[in-house]
Chain A
Amino acid sequence: MPRDPRWQRITNHKLFHAFKDSDFRQFVFRFISCLIVLTILYEWYLWSTEQQRELDWVTYKVSELSHALAVALGVANCEFSCFMDGCYIGVEGKMINVLEGCNGLMLALVYSSYIIGVSGWKWQSLVQVIVGIVVIQFFNVFRIGILVVLRDIGGDVYFFFIKYVFNVLIYLAILLLWLLKPYLDKVMHNNVF
Chain B
Amino acid sequence: MSFRNLIACCVYLVIHLTISGKLNMLLYENDTRDFLELPLELFIATALRVILGMVFLHFSKISMSYVFASTILGLITRIIFHGPYPMAILACWFFILKREHRL
**Which A residues fall within an 8 A CB radius of B?**
14-19, 23-24, 27-28, 31-32, 35-36, 39, 106-107, 109-111, 113-114, 117-118, 163-164, 167-168, 171-172, 174-175, 178-179
Contact = CB atoms under 8 A, between A and B. Distances in A.
B91 A106 contact: no
A19 to B, nearest CB: 6
A24 to B, nearest CB: 7
B84 A110 contact: yes
Given A106-B84, A174-B90, 19 more contacts: A16-B65, A18-B63, A18-B68, A24-B69, A36-B81, A39-B81, A106-B83, A110-B88, A113-B91, A117-B91, A163-B17, A163-B18, A168-B14, A168-B17, A171-B9, A171-B87, A171-B90, A175-B94, A178-B94
Which 4 A-B pairs have CB atoms at the shortest separation, nearest pair first? A17-B65, A18-B69, A18-B65, A110-B87
Given A15-B65, A109-B83, A175 B90 contact: yes
Contact of A31 (B1, B63, B86, B91): B91
A19 B73 CA distance: 12
Interface string B10-41: 10011001100100000000000000000000
Between B10, B69, B90, the greatest number of chain A beta carbons within 10 A of the residue's beta carbon is seen for B69
A174 B84 CA distance: 13
Interface string B34-78: 000000000000000000000000000001111011000100110
Nearest to A23: B99
A19 B18 CA distance: 32
Contacts of A168: 10, 13-14, 17
Contacts of B88: 31, 110
Contact of A14 (B6, B18, B64): B64
A179 B84 contact: no
B4 interface: no
